[in-house]
Amino acid sequence: MSKITAVSLGVLVLVGGTLAGGAKAEGKGFLPYRDKASVSRGEAIYEESCAACHGAALEGEANWRRPGPDGRLPAPPHDPSGHTWHHSDMVLFRLTKYGPEALVGGDYQSNMPGFDGVLSDRDIVDVLAYIKSTWPDQIKEAHNARNE
């Protein structure tokens, strides 16, 4: 049985197509977006931890492509109109866990916090699975291609 580390430090492990915790990986990445239990958990966590900024309907904040008065970009949408699906599962996981500032580096500033220590790795994966589950098939397929 092959073992692939899906997240840095081996925290989340994909073994034989199954994520730690039992959810089945889908597509070419590791988000279990067809696993009803993962998606349901992710939706509840999203509502509690993400919707205030990214919108209850994944719509993001207004004018999300333009910096606000503080020089920071508003929260982008996670629906098909945004750029979430342009990033691989791993990039999305790391952005959520560590925050954009940690990944981009330099003097980049973001209003989005990292959720390390707030949400478990499984919580983050389930939130991302929920988001992906809402996309049309064509967008899911394009996102799966990003995971190659």
In order of their start, the domains of the chain are: 33-146 (1.10.760.10)
Give the pLDDT score at 141: 94
Give strand ranges (E) for the chain.
Answer: 3-5, 13-15, 18-19
State the DSSP code for 116.
B
Give the pLDDT score at 109: 87
Find the length of the chain.
148
Give the pLDDT score at 45: 98
Give the pLDDT score at 29: 85
This prediction has a pTM of: 0.83
Q: CB under 8 Å to 9, separation ≥6 — which residues?
A: none
11/21 Cα distance (integer angstroms):
11
Give the pLDDT score at 106: 86
Report the chain (148 residues): mean pLDDT per 10 consecutive residues: 35 45 58 96 98 97 94 95 94 94 88 95 96 97 90
